[in-house]
Structure 1
Protein backbone atom coordinates (compact mmCIF):
# COMPACT_ATOMS: atom_id res chain seq x y z
CA UNK A 1 0.00 0.00 0.00
CA UNK A 2 1.34 3.46 -0.88
CA UNK A 3 0.26 7.03 -1.23
CA UNK A 4 -0.36 8.85 -4.52
CA UNK A 5 2.61 9.19 -6.89
CA UNK A 6 2.72 12.95 -6.22
CA UNK A 7 3.03 12.56 -2.48
CA UNK A 8 5.92 11.27 -0.50
CA UNK A 9 6.16 7.59 0.28
CA UNK A 10 5.12 6.84 3.83
CA UNK A 11 7.00 4.00 5.47
CA UNK A 12 8.44 3.16 8.81
CA UNK A 13 12.04 3.58 7.67
CA UNK A 14 11.80 7.25 6.64
CA UNK A 15 10.64 10.43 8.32
CA UNK A 16 7.05 11.41 7.68
CA UNK A 17 6.49 15.10 7.08
CA UNK A 18 3.31 16.84 8.18
CA UNK A 19 2.69 17.85 4.58
CA UNK A 20 2.95 14.27 3.32
CA UNK A 21 0.66 12.97 6.05
CA UNK A 22 -1.97 15.65 5.39
CA UNK A 23 -1.83 15.00 1.69
CA UNK A 24 -2.18 11.25 2.06
CA UNK A 25 -5.04 11.47 4.55
CA UNK A 26 -6.78 14.34 2.76
CA UNK A 27 -7.20 12.38 -0.44
CA UNK A 28 -7.52 8.99 1.25
CA UNK A 29 -5.93 7.25 -1.69
CA UNK A 30 -5.15 3.57 -1.42
CA UNK A 31 -3.04 1.85 -4.05
CA UNK A 32 -2.86 -1.92 -4.40
CA UNK A 33 0.13 -3.57 -5.94
CA UNK A 34 -1.93 -6.52 -7.10
CA UNK A 35 -3.23 -8.10 -10.24
CA UNK A 36 -5.30 -5.80 -12.49
CA UNK A 37 -8.56 -7.52 -11.48
CA UNK A 38 -10.84 -5.36 -9.37
CA UNK A 39 -9.74 -6.75 -6.04
CA UNK A 40 -10.88 -3.65 -4.19
CA UNK A 41 -14.30 -3.79 -5.82
CA UNK A 42 -14.65 -7.44 -4.88
CA UNK A 43 -13.70 -6.65 -1.29
CA UNK A 44 -16.27 -3.87 -1.10
CA UNK A 45 -18.96 -6.14 -2.57
CA UNK A 46 -18.18 -8.75 0.06
CA UNK A 47 -18.36 -6.13 2.81
CA UNK A 48 -21.61 -4.40 1.80
CA UNK A 49 -23.46 -7.15 -0.13
CA UNK A 50 -26.53 -6.25 -2.18
CA UNK A 51 -29.09 -4.94 0.32
CA UNK A 52 -32.74 -4.36 -0.48
CA UNK A 53 -33.84 -1.03 -1.93
CA UNK A 54 -37.39 -1.52 -0.67
CA UNK A 55 -38.81 -0.63 2.73
CA UNK A 56 -40.49 -4.04 2.96
CA UNK A 57 -37.08 -5.68 2.73
CA UNK A 58 -36.11 -3.99 6.00
CA UNK A 59 -39.19 -3.85 8.20
CA UNK A 60 -42.87 -4.60 8.63
CA UNK A 61 -45.57 -3.53 11.09
CA UNK A 62 -48.15 -5.90 12.55
CA UNK A 63 -51.78 -5.17 13.30
CA UNK A 64 -50.86 -4.68 16.96
CA UNK A 65 -48.21 -2.11 16.03
CA UNK A 66 -45.26 -4.41 16.65
CA UNK A 67 -42.35 -3.60 14.37
CA UNK A 68 -40.33 -6.44 12.87
CA UNK A 69 -37.02 -5.22 11.46
CA UNK A 70 -34.45 -7.13 9.41
CA UNK A 71 -30.70 -6.66 9.32
CA UNK A 72 -27.77 -8.33 7.61
CA UNK A 73 -25.32 -7.14 10.26
CA UNK A 74 -25.14 -9.54 13.19
CA UNK A 75 -24.39 -9.42 16.87
CA UNK A 76 -20.91 -10.71 17.72
CA UNK A 77 -20.61 -9.45 21.27
CA UNK A 78 -20.26 -5.78 20.31
CA UNK A 79 -23.81 -4.79 21.31
CA UNK A 80 -24.95 -4.30 17.72
CA UNK A 81 -28.24 -6.17 18.20
CA UNK A 82 -29.33 -3.71 20.88
CA UNK A 83 -28.00 -0.68 19.00
CA UNK A 84 -29.85 -1.58 15.79
CA UNK A 85 -33.04 -2.16 17.76
CA UNK A 86 -32.62 1.30 19.27
CA UNK A 87 -32.09 2.75 15.80
CA UNK A 88 -35.36 1.35 14.48
CA UNK A 89 -37.26 2.40 17.61
CA UNK A 90 -35.86 5.93 17.35
CA UNK A 91 -36.58 6.50 13.68
CA UNK A 92 -40.07 4.97 13.85
CA UNK A 93 -40.91 6.70 17.15
CA UNK A 94 -41.83 3.52 19.02
CA UNK A 95 -40.64 1.96 22.26
CA UNK A 96 -37.69 -0.43 22.13
CA UNK A 97 -39.95 -3.16 23.47
CA UNK A 98 -42.13 -2.86 20.35
CA UNK A 99 -39.27 -3.76 17.99
CA UNK A 100 -38.35 -7.33 17.10
CA UNK A 101 -35.04 -7.48 15.24
CA UNK A 102 -34.29 -10.44 12.94
CA UNK A 103 -30.62 -10.76 12.07
CA UNK A 104 -28.73 -12.63 9.38
CA UNK A 105 -31.09 -15.31 8.08
CA UNK A 106 -30.40 -16.17 4.46
CA UNK A 107 -33.46 -15.56 2.31
CA UNK A 108 -35.14 -13.47 5.01
CA UNK A 109 -32.83 -10.62 5.96
CA UNK A 110 -31.09 -8.20 3.56
CA UNK A 111 -27.84 -9.29 1.93
CA UNK A 112 -25.36 -7.00 3.64
CA UNK A 113 -22.23 -9.01 2.99
CA UNK A 114 -20.14 -9.72 6.07
CA UNK A 115 -20.13 -8.23 9.55
CA UNK A 116 -16.56 -6.99 9.95
CA UNK A 117 -14.25 -4.04 9.68
CA UNK A 118 -16.37 -1.80 11.93
CA UNK A 119 -18.65 -1.19 8.95
CA UNK A 120 -22.02 -2.04 10.50
CA UNK A 121 -22.58 1.43 11.92
CA UNK A 122 -21.54 3.33 8.76
CA UNK A 123 -23.80 1.12 6.65
CA UNK A 124 -26.91 0.96 8.83
CA UNK A 125 -26.80 4.09 11.01
CA UNK A 126 -25.91 6.86 8.57
CA UNK A 127 -27.91 7.65 5.44
CA UNK A 128 -28.89 4.30 3.95
CA UNK A 129 -30.17 0.80 4.62
CA UNK A 130 -31.82 0.19 8.00
CA UNK A 131 -31.82 3.82 9.13
CA UNK A 132 -33.20 5.06 5.81
CA UNK A 133 -35.86 2.33 5.74
CA UNK A 134 -37.15 3.35 9.17
CA UNK A 135 -37.11 7.05 8.26
CA UNK A 136 -38.91 6.33 4.98
CA UNK A 137 -41.53 4.26 6.81
CA UNK A 138 -42.12 6.99 9.42
CA UNK A 139 -42.71 9.63 6.75
CA UNK A 140 -44.97 7.23 4.83
CA UNK A 141 -47.09 6.64 7.95
CA UNK A 142 -47.48 10.36 8.44
CA UNK A 143 -48.52 10.73 4.80
CA UNK A 144 -51.08 7.92 5.18
CA UNK A 145 -52.66 9.61 8.19
CA UNK A 146 -52.65 13.01 6.47
CA UNK A 147 -54.42 11.56 3.45
CA UNK A 148 -56.96 9.70 5.59
CA UNK A 149 -57.77 12.81 7.63
CA UNK A 150 -57.45 15.28 4.76
CA UNK A 151 -54.99 17.53 6.60
CA UNK A 152 -51.47 18.80 5.80
CA UNK A 153 -48.82 16.35 6.93
CA UNK A 154 -46.96 19.20 8.65
CA UNK A 155 -49.70 19.31 11.29
CA UNK A 156 -49.11 15.70 12.35
CA UNK A 157 -46.66 14.17 14.78
CA UNK A 158 -45.51 10.59 15.35
CA UNK A 159 -44.80 9.09 18.74
CA UNK A 160 -45.24 5.85 20.71
CA UNK A 161 -46.47 4.05 17.60
CA UNK A 162 -49.26 6.46 16.80
CA UNK A 163 -49.81 9.50 14.58
CA UNK A 164 -51.49 12.46 16.28
CA UNK A 165 -53.16 15.76 15.51
CA UNK A 166 -54.13 17.23 18.81
CA UNK A 167 -56.52 14.78 20.48
CA UNK A 168 -57.04 12.83 17.28
CA UNK A 169 -54.85 9.69 16.98
CA UNK A 170 -54.41 6.66 14.78
CA UNK A 171 -52.03 3.76 15.40
CA UNK A 172 -49.43 2.36 13.03
CA UNK A 173 -51.32 -0.92 13.13
CA UNK A 174 -54.46 0.78 11.87
CA UNK A 175 -52.54 2.51 9.09
CA UNK A 176 -50.44 -0.35 7.72
CA UNK A 177 -50.79 -3.38 10.02
CA UNK A 178 -49.95 -6.68 8.28
CA UNK A 179 -49.70 -4.95 4.90
CA UNK A 180 -46.72 -3.99 2.78
CA UNK A 181 -45.50 -0.45 2.27
CA UNK A 182 -44.65 -1.10 -1.41
CA UNK A 183 -42.16 1.76 -1.30
CA UNK A 184 -38.53 2.13 -2.32
CA UNK A 185 -36.15 3.73 0.14
CA UNK A 186 -36.52 7.50 -0.07
CA UNK A 187 -33.09 9.12 -0.05
CA UNK A 188 -34.78 12.42 0.83
CA UNK A 189 -36.43 11.02 3.95
CA UNK A 190 -35.28 13.09 6.91
CA UNK A 191 -33.51 11.36 9.77
CA UNK A 192 -34.37 12.47 13.28
CA UNK A 193 -31.74 14.97 14.49
CA UNK A 194 -29.78 13.96 17.60
CA UNK A 195 -31.36 16.78 19.62
CA UNK A 196 -34.71 14.99 19.26
CA UNK A 197 -33.46 11.54 20.22
CA UNK A 198 -35.23 9.80 23.05
CA UNK A 199 -33.88 6.28 22.51
CA UNK A 200 -30.58 6.61 20.66
CA UNK A 201 -27.78 7.98 22.78
CA UNK A 202 -29.41 6.74 25.96
CA UNK A 203 -28.39 3.67 27.98
CA UNK A 204 -30.38 0.54 27.25
CA UNK A 205 -29.82 -2.84 28.85
CA UNK A 206 -28.38 -5.37 26.42
CA UNK A 207 -31.39 -7.10 24.88
CA UNK A 208 -29.47 -10.29 24.24
CA UNK A 209 -27.91 -10.57 27.70
CA UNK A 210 -30.72 -12.47 29.49
CA UNK A 211 -30.50 -15.31 26.96
CA UNK A 212 -26.71 -15.40 27.35
CA UNK A 213 -26.67 -15.66 31.14
CA UNK A 214 -29.51 -18.19 31.27
CA UNK A 215 -27.92 -20.48 28.68
CA UNK A 216 -30.80 -20.21 26.19
CA UNK A 217 -28.97 -18.27 23.48
CA UNK A 218 -28.14 -20.52 20.53
CA UNK A 219 -24.59 -19.81 19.41
CA UNK A 220 -23.70 -20.71 15.85
CA UNK A 221 -21.36 -23.42 17.11
CA UNK A 222 -24.31 -25.18 18.72
CA UNK A 223 -26.72 -25.01 15.79
CA UNK A 224 -28.05 -28.43 14.81
CA UNK A 225 -30.33 -29.18 11.86
CA UNK A 226 -31.68 -32.52 10.60
CA UNK A 227 -29.12 -34.44 8.56
CA UNK A 228 -26.34 -32.07 9.51
CA UNK A 229 -22.75 -33.15 8.79
CA UNK A 230 -19.41 -31.41 9.26
CA UNK A 231 -16.76 -30.31 6.81
CA UNK A 232 -13.16 -29.23 7.12
CA UNK A 233 -10.98 -27.48 4.53
CA UNK A 234 -7.56 -28.93 3.75
CA UNK A 235 -5.21 -26.00 3.32
CA UNK A 236 -2.30 -25.92 0.83
CA UNK A 237 1.19 -25.72 2.32
CA UNK A 238 2.14 -22.57 0.40
CA UNK A 239 0.45 -19.66 -1.35
CA UNK A 240 -0.53 -20.58 -4.90
CA UNK A 241 0.07 -24.33 -4.47
CA UNK A 242 -1.93 -26.56 -6.82
CA UNK A 243 -3.26 -30.08 -6.34
CA UNK A 244 -1.36 -32.96 -7.96
CA UNK A 245 -3.20 -35.88 -6.41
CA UNK A 246 -5.45 -36.80 -3.48
CA UNK A 247 -5.36 -40.20 -1.76
CA UNK A 248 -8.90 -40.70 -0.45
CA UNK A 249 -8.01 -44.16 0.83
CA UNK A 250 -5.85 -42.51 3.50
CA UNK A 251 -9.01 -41.46 5.37
CA UNK A 252 -11.82 -43.61 3.98
CA UNK A 253 -11.62 -46.05 6.88
CA UNK A 254 -11.79 -43.43 9.63
CA UNK A 255 -14.85 -43.30 11.94
CA UNK A 256 -17.63 -41.06 10.63
CA UNK A 257 -15.98 -40.50 7.25
CA UNK A 258 -18.44 -39.54 4.47
CA UNK A 259 -16.47 -38.15 1.51
CA UNK A 260 -13.59 -36.08 0.20
CA UNK A 261 -14.51 -33.05 -1.89
CA UNK A 262 -12.10 -31.89 -4.59
CA UNK A 263 -12.92 -28.94 -6.84
CA UNK A 264 -9.92 -27.73 -8.81
CA UNK A 265 -7.46 -26.79 -6.06
CA UNK A 266 -10.01 -26.81 -3.25
CA UNK A 267 -9.99 -29.86 -0.99
CA UNK A 268 -12.30 -30.62 1.91
CA UNK A 269 -13.44 -33.59 3.94
CA UNK A 270 -16.95 -34.34 5.19
CA UNK A 271 -17.66 -36.42 8.29
CA UNK A 272 -20.52 -37.10 10.67
CA UNK A 273 -18.99 -35.14 13.55
CA UNK A 274 -16.80 -32.04 13.75
CA UNK A 275 -13.86 -33.70 15.51
CA UNK A 276 -13.92 -36.52 12.98
CA UNK A 277 -13.65 -33.95 10.17
CA UNK A 278 -10.72 -32.27 11.92
CA UNK A 279 -8.88 -35.57 12.23
CA UNK A 280 -9.62 -36.60 8.64
CA UNK A 281 -8.41 -33.26 7.28
CA UNK A 282 -5.14 -33.65 9.18
CA UNK A 283 -4.63 -37.22 7.95
CA UNK A 284 -5.66 -36.87 4.29
CA UNK A 285 -2.68 -37.42 1.99
CA UNK A 286 -2.43 -34.73 -0.69
CA UNK A 287 0.41 -34.15 -3.16
CA UNK A 288 0.84 -30.44 -3.90
CA UNK A 289 2.78 -28.57 -6.55
CA UNK A 290 4.35 -25.58 -4.78
CA UNK A 291 3.26 -22.13 -5.84
CA UNK A 292 5.58 -19.29 -6.83
CA UNK A 293 8.20 -18.53 -4.20
CA UNK A 294 7.64 -15.36 -2.22
CA UNK A 295 10.40 -12.73 -2.37
CA UNK A 296 12.78 -12.50 0.60
CA UNK A 297 11.35 -10.50 3.47
CA UNK A 298 14.34 -8.16 3.46
CA UNK A 299 13.53 -6.98 -0.09
CA UNK A 300 9.76 -7.36 0.05
CA UNK A 301 9.07 -3.61 0.20
CA UNK A 302 11.10 -2.96 -2.96
CA UNK A 303 9.38 -5.91 -4.65
CA UNK A 304 5.94 -4.51 -3.88
CA UNK A 305 6.92 -1.06 -5.18
CA UNK A 306 7.82 -2.56 -8.55
CA UNK A 307 4.47 -4.31 -9.05
CA UNK A 308 1.69 -2.85 -11.23
CA UNK A 309 -0.53 -0.62 -9.12
CA UNK A 310 -3.46 1.76 -9.35
CA UNK A 311 -4.91 4.46 -7.16
CA UNK A 312 -8.38 4.09 -5.67
CA UNK A 313 -9.93 7.15 -4.08
CA UNK A 314 -12.15 6.29 -1.14
CA UNK A 315 -12.85 9.96 -0.47
CA UNK A 316 -11.77 12.82 -2.73
CA UNK A 317 -12.33 16.36 -1.44
CA UNK A 318 -10.92 17.68 -4.76
CA UNK A 319 -9.16 20.53 -2.98
CA UNK A 320 -6.10 18.82 -1.48
CA UNK A 321 -3.56 20.42 -3.83
CA UNK A 322 -5.07 23.90 -3.50
CA UNK A 323 -5.38 23.66 0.28
CA UNK A 324 -1.80 22.49 0.71
CA UNK A 325 -0.52 25.17 -1.63
CA UNK A 326 -2.12 27.86 0.51
CA UNK A 327 -1.14 26.28 3.84
CA UNK A 328 1.86 27.26 5.91
CA UNK A 329 4.91 25.20 5.00
Structure 2
Protein backbone atom coordinates (compact mmCIF):
# COMPACT_ATOMS: atom_id res chain seq x y z
CA UNK A 1 0.00 0.00 0.00
CA UNK A 2 1.07 3.58 -0.62
CA UNK A 3 1.97 5.50 2.51
CA UNK A 4 1.13 9.13 3.09
CA UNK A 5 4.04 11.40 3.93
CA UNK A 6 3.94 12.07 7.67
CA UNK A 7 6.24 15.07 7.50
CA UNK A 8 8.40 16.95 5.05
CA UNK A 9 12.06 16.02 5.36
CA UNK A 10 14.93 18.27 4.34
CA UNK A 11 17.80 17.33 2.05
CA UNK A 12 19.97 16.82 5.12
CA UNK A 13 17.48 14.47 6.79
CA UNK A 14 17.03 12.46 3.60
CA UNK A 15 20.81 12.32 3.15
CA UNK A 16 21.28 11.03 6.70
CA UNK A 17 18.92 8.15 5.89
CA UNK A 18 20.65 7.55 2.54
CA UNK A 19 24.13 7.34 4.03
CA UNK A 20 22.90 5.17 6.90
CA UNK A 21 21.85 2.49 4.41
CA UNK A 22 24.89 1.65 2.24
CA UNK A 23 24.25 -0.36 -0.91
CA UNK A 24 26.29 -2.13 -3.58
CA UNK A 25 26.78 -0.06 -6.71
CA UNK A 26 28.60 -0.28 -10.02
CA UNK A 27 29.61 3.00 -11.67
CA UNK A 28 30.52 3.62 -15.31
CA UNK A 29 31.50 6.87 -17.01
CA UNK A 30 30.12 7.23 -20.53
CA UNK A 31 32.49 8.17 -23.35
CA UNK A 32 31.35 10.36 -26.23
CA UNK A 33 32.86 11.27 -29.60
CA UNK A 34 31.86 13.37 -32.58
CA UNK A 35 30.95 16.54 -30.69
CA UNK A 36 34.31 18.31 -30.68
CA UNK A 37 35.48 19.58 -27.31
CA UNK A 38 31.95 20.05 -26.00
CA UNK A 39 30.66 18.36 -22.86
CA UNK A 40 27.86 15.78 -22.96
CA UNK A 41 25.80 15.53 -19.79
CA UNK A 42 22.20 15.29 -18.50
CA UNK A 43 21.54 12.20 -20.57
CA UNK A 44 18.37 10.14 -20.83
CA UNK A 45 18.34 6.44 -20.11
CA UNK A 46 19.13 4.42 -23.25
CA UNK A 47 16.20 2.90 -25.14
CA UNK A 48 15.86 0.48 -28.04
CA UNK A 49 14.97 1.89 -31.44
CA UNK A 50 15.14 0.08 -34.77
CA UNK A 51 17.46 -2.56 -33.38
CA UNK A 52 19.98 -0.23 -31.75
CA UNK A 53 20.46 1.39 -28.37
CA UNK A 54 19.84 5.14 -28.38
CA UNK A 55 20.11 7.89 -25.77
CA UNK A 56 19.76 11.65 -25.84
CA UNK A 57 22.30 14.01 -24.28
CA UNK A 58 22.82 17.70 -23.66
CA UNK A 59 25.84 18.95 -25.61
CA UNK A 60 27.45 22.33 -24.93
CA UNK A 61 30.64 24.29 -24.39
CA UNK A 62 31.92 24.36 -20.81
CA UNK A 63 31.46 28.15 -20.53
CA UNK A 64 28.04 28.34 -22.23
CA UNK A 65 24.39 27.57 -21.44
CA UNK A 66 23.45 27.37 -25.13
CA UNK A 67 23.19 23.68 -25.84
CA UNK A 68 21.99 21.16 -28.37
CA UNK A 69 20.33 17.80 -27.80
CA UNK A 70 21.82 14.95 -29.83
CA UNK A 71 20.63 11.40 -30.36
CA UNK A 72 23.57 9.07 -29.68
CA UNK A 73 24.21 5.42 -30.52
CA UNK A 74 26.91 3.20 -29.05
CA UNK A 75 29.72 1.30 -30.77
CA UNK A 76 32.54 -0.35 -28.82
CA UNK A 77 31.47 1.50 -25.63
CA UNK A 78 31.73 4.91 -27.32
CA UNK A 79 28.60 6.98 -27.89
CA UNK A 80 28.51 8.97 -31.15
CA UNK A 81 25.84 11.16 -32.80
CA UNK A 82 23.31 9.04 -34.67
CA UNK A 83 23.85 9.37 -38.40
CA UNK A 84 21.58 11.75 -40.33
CA UNK A 85 19.52 12.58 -37.24
CA UNK A 86 18.17 16.03 -36.42
CA UNK A 87 19.58 17.87 -33.40
CA UNK A 88 17.50 20.22 -31.27
CA UNK A 89 18.49 23.55 -29.70
CA UNK A 90 17.34 22.42 -26.28
CA UNK A 91 18.63 21.56 -22.81
CA UNK A 92 17.95 18.56 -20.57
CA UNK A 93 16.18 16.03 -22.82
CA UNK A 94 13.55 13.53 -21.71
CA UNK A 95 11.73 10.71 -23.48
CA UNK A 96 8.72 8.48 -23.03
CA UNK A 97 6.50 6.24 -25.14
CA UNK A 98 2.76 6.99 -25.33
CA UNK A 99 0.52 4.73 -27.39
CA UNK A 100 3.54 3.56 -29.35
CA UNK A 101 4.71 7.07 -30.16
CA UNK A 102 8.10 8.44 -29.11
CA UNK A 103 7.73 11.64 -27.10
CA UNK A 104 10.81 13.84 -26.74
CA UNK A 105 10.98 16.91 -24.53
CA UNK A 106 13.61 19.52 -23.78
CA UNK A 107 14.07 23.05 -22.51
CA UNK A 108 14.39 25.90 -25.00
CA UNK A 109 16.12 29.01 -23.66
CA UNK A 110 14.65 32.43 -24.47
CA UNK A 111 17.07 35.32 -24.96
CA UNK A 112 16.64 39.08 -24.58
CA UNK A 113 15.49 40.84 -27.73
CA UNK A 114 18.32 43.36 -27.48
CA UNK A 115 20.96 40.90 -26.25
CA UNK A 116 20.96 37.43 -27.87
CA UNK A 117 23.62 36.27 -25.40
CA UNK A 118 21.44 36.88 -22.35
CA UNK A 119 18.98 34.16 -21.28
CA UNK A 120 15.84 35.69 -19.78
CA UNK A 121 13.46 32.71 -19.70
CA UNK A 122 12.92 29.15 -20.89
CA UNK A 123 10.13 26.97 -22.24
CA UNK A 124 9.77 23.18 -22.30
CA UNK A 125 9.04 21.95 -25.83
CA UNK A 126 7.59 18.58 -26.82
CA UNK A 127 7.91 16.57 -30.04
CA UNK A 128 6.18 13.37 -31.09
CA UNK A 129 6.35 10.75 -33.81
CA UNK A 130 6.69 7.07 -34.62
CA UNK A 131 10.17 7.60 -36.10
CA UNK A 132 13.17 9.45 -34.68
CA UNK A 133 13.75 11.09 -38.04
CA UNK A 134 10.26 12.57 -38.33
CA UNK A 135 9.35 14.03 -34.94
CA UNK A 136 6.93 16.97 -34.97
CA UNK A 137 6.49 19.71 -32.37
CA UNK A 138 3.10 19.44 -30.67
CA UNK A 139 3.12 21.26 -27.33
CA UNK A 140 4.88 23.93 -25.25
CA UNK A 141 4.96 24.43 -21.51
CA UNK A 142 4.42 27.75 -19.70
CA UNK A 143 7.32 30.21 -19.47
CA UNK A 144 9.98 29.28 -16.85
CA UNK A 145 8.53 25.80 -16.19
CA UNK A 146 11.04 22.96 -16.48
CA UNK A 147 10.69 19.31 -15.41
CA UNK A 148 7.42 18.57 -17.20
CA UNK A 149 7.06 14.83 -17.69
CA UNK A 150 4.42 12.62 -19.31
CA UNK A 151 3.45 8.97 -18.78
CA UNK A 152 0.83 6.62 -20.21
CA UNK A 153 -1.21 5.23 -17.32
CA UNK A 154 -2.60 1.70 -17.02
CA UNK A 155 -6.05 2.76 -18.31
CA UNK A 156 -4.57 4.55 -21.35
CA UNK A 157 -4.94 8.07 -20.00
CA UNK A 158 -1.88 10.31 -19.70
CA UNK A 159 -0.39 11.52 -16.43
CA UNK A 160 1.33 14.91 -16.45
CA UNK A 161 3.94 15.99 -13.89
CA UNK A 162 4.68 19.72 -13.72
CA UNK A 163 7.03 21.98 -11.79
CA UNK A 164 5.38 25.29 -10.81
CA UNK A 165 7.52 28.05 -9.31
CA UNK A 166 6.92 31.52 -7.93
CA UNK A 167 3.64 32.41 -6.24
CA UNK A 168 2.23 28.90 -6.70
CA UNK A 169 5.32 26.76 -6.27
CA UNK A 170 8.00 28.80 -4.49
CA UNK A 171 11.44 27.57 -5.55
CA UNK A 172 9.84 24.56 -7.25
CA UNK A 173 7.15 22.02 -6.36
CA UNK A 174 5.73 19.04 -8.25
CA UNK A 175 2.25 19.18 -9.77
CA UNK A 176 0.14 16.40 -11.29
CA UNK A 177 -2.87 16.08 -13.54
CA UNK A 178 -4.42 13.54 -15.93
CA UNK A 179 -5.67 14.03 -19.49
CA UNK A 180 -7.39 11.64 -21.90
CA UNK A 181 -5.31 12.37 -24.98
CA UNK A 182 -2.15 14.13 -26.13
CA UNK A 183 -4.44 16.37 -28.17
CA UNK A 184 -5.49 17.99 -24.87
CA UNK A 185 -1.93 18.90 -23.96
CA UNK A 186 -1.58 22.68 -23.95
CA UNK A 187 -0.16 25.42 -21.75
CA UNK A 188 -3.29 25.65 -19.62
CA UNK A 189 -3.07 21.93 -18.81
CA UNK A 190 0.31 22.49 -17.19
CA UNK A 191 -0.81 25.63 -15.37
CA UNK A 192 -3.93 23.99 -13.92
CA UNK A 193 -2.17 20.88 -12.54
CA UNK A 194 -2.65 20.49 -8.80
CA UNK A 195 0.45 20.71 -6.60
CA UNK A 196 1.15 17.51 -4.72
CA UNK A 197 2.40 19.43 -1.68
CA UNK A 198 4.20 18.28 1.47
CA UNK A 199 7.32 17.23 -0.42
CA UNK A 200 9.82 20.10 0.01
CA UNK A 201 10.46 22.64 2.72
CA UNK A 202 10.16 26.25 1.45
CA UNK A 203 13.94 26.76 1.23
CA UNK A 204 14.38 23.69 -1.00
CA UNK A 205 12.93 22.49 -4.26
CA UNK A 206 12.58 19.53 -6.57
CA UNK A 207 11.02 18.13 -9.69
CA UNK A 208 10.14 14.99 -11.65
CA UNK A 209 12.66 13.73 -14.22
CA UNK A 210 11.08 10.47 -15.39
CA UNK A 211 7.90 8.50 -14.63
CA UNK A 212 7.52 4.71 -14.56
CA UNK A 213 4.27 2.76 -14.65
CA UNK A 214 4.43 0.19 -11.85
CA UNK A 215 2.80 -3.24 -11.85
CA UNK A 216 0.04 -2.11 -9.46
CA UNK A 217 -0.95 0.86 -11.62
CA UNK A 218 0.82 3.38 -9.43
CA UNK A 219 3.52 5.63 -10.89
CA UNK A 220 7.12 5.54 -9.70
CA UNK A 221 8.68 8.97 -10.06
CA UNK A 222 12.40 9.50 -10.56
CA UNK A 223 13.26 13.07 -9.70
CA UNK A 224 15.55 15.40 -7.82
CA UNK A 225 15.60 17.32 -4.58
CA UNK A 226 17.87 20.34 -4.25
CA UNK A 227 19.03 23.06 -1.91
CA UNK A 228 21.52 25.91 -1.54
CA UNK A 229 24.23 26.03 1.09
CA UNK A 230 25.27 29.18 2.94
CA UNK A 231 27.78 30.02 0.19
CA UNK A 232 25.16 29.87 -2.55
CA UNK A 233 26.36 26.55 -3.97
CA UNK A 234 23.72 24.17 -5.32
CA UNK A 235 23.28 20.60 -4.11
CA UNK A 236 21.17 18.21 -6.22
CA UNK A 237 20.32 14.61 -5.34
CA UNK A 238 18.45 11.87 -7.20
CA UNK A 239 15.26 10.87 -5.42
CA UNK A 240 12.17 8.75 -5.97
CA UNK A 241 8.62 8.41 -4.69
CA UNK A 242 5.44 6.75 -5.92
CA UNK A 243 1.96 8.11 -6.45
CA UNK A 244 -1.48 6.57 -6.89
CA UNK A 245 -2.75 8.52 -9.92
CA UNK A 246 -6.38 8.05 -8.89
CA UNK A 247 -6.06 9.48 -5.39
CA UNK A 248 -2.72 11.35 -5.58
CA UNK A 249 -1.73 9.54 -2.39
CA UNK A 250 2.07 9.42 -2.43
CA UNK A 251 5.01 7.96 -0.56
CA UNK A 252 7.69 10.01 1.18
CA UNK A 253 10.73 10.97 -0.86
CA UNK A 254 13.90 8.92 -0.63
CA UNK A 255 17.33 9.79 -2.04
CA UNK A 256 18.81 7.06 -4.26
CA UNK A 257 22.07 8.67 -5.49
CA UNK A 258 24.39 11.56 -4.64
CA UNK A 259 27.46 13.18 -6.19
CA UNK A 260 29.60 11.23 -3.74
CA UNK A 261 28.69 8.03 -5.62
CA UNK A 262 30.84 9.16 -8.54
CA UNK A 263 34.57 9.88 -9.00
CA UNK A 264 35.86 13.42 -8.69
CA UNK A 265 35.91 15.20 -12.02
CA UNK A 266 35.41 18.47 -13.85
CA UNK A 267 32.44 20.74 -13.25
CA UNK A 268 30.84 23.52 -15.21
CA UNK A 269 31.22 25.98 -12.32
CA UNK A 270 32.32 25.69 -8.67
CA UNK A 271 28.73 26.16 -7.45
CA UNK A 272 27.64 23.09 -9.48
CA UNK A 273 30.22 20.65 -8.13
CA UNK A 274 27.70 18.78 -5.94
CA UNK A 275 25.02 18.39 -8.61
CA UNK A 276 23.66 15.27 -10.31
CA UNK A 277 20.81 15.26 -12.84
CA UNK A 278 18.45 12.28 -12.76
CA UNK A 279 18.23 11.41 -16.44
CA UNK A 280 16.49 8.05 -16.47
CA UNK A 281 16.25 4.60 -14.91
CA UNK A 282 16.20 1.13 -16.45
CA UNK A 283 14.82 -1.64 -14.22
CA UNK A 284 16.45 -5.04 -14.73
CA UNK A 285 13.61 -7.07 -13.25
CA UNK A 286 16.06 -8.77 -10.86
CA UNK A 287 15.99 -6.25 -8.04
CA UNK A 288 18.57 -4.00 -9.67
CA UNK A 289 18.35 -0.89 -11.85
CA UNK A 290 20.68 1.34 -13.84
CA UNK A 291 20.41 5.09 -13.27
CA UNK A 292 21.68 7.47 -15.96
CA UNK A 293 22.83 10.84 -14.63
CA UNK A 294 24.56 14.06 -15.53
CA UNK A 295 27.33 14.92 -13.06
CA UNK A 296 28.45 18.45 -12.13
CA UNK A 297 26.97 19.74 -15.43
CA UNK A 298 29.99 18.35 -17.28
CA UNK A 299 29.95 14.52 -17.45
CA UNK A 300 27.59 11.57 -17.93
CA UNK A 301 27.55 8.41 -15.83
CA UNK A 302 25.52 5.29 -15.27
CA UNK A 303 25.26 3.66 -11.86
CA UNK A 304 23.76 0.28 -11.04
CA UNK A 305 21.79 0.40 -7.78
CA UNK A 306 19.07 -1.60 -6.01
CA UNK A 307 15.77 -1.10 -7.84
CA UNK A 308 14.19 1.79 -5.89
CA UNK A 309 10.64 1.04 -7.10
CA UNK A 310 10.32 -2.56 -5.89
CA UNK A 311 8.94 -1.58 -2.48
CA UNK A 312 6.16 0.45 -4.11
CA UNK A 313 4.79 -2.60 -5.95
CA UNK A 314 4.30 -4.79 -2.88
Q: TM-score range by the shorter chain?
A: under 0.3
Q: Which structure's CA Rg is the greater one? A: 1
Compare the two structures and name the one with the higher strand fraction.
2
Which is bigger in relative contact order (C-alpha 8 A, separation at least 6)?
Answer: 1
TM (norm. structure 1) is: 0.19
More helix by share: 1
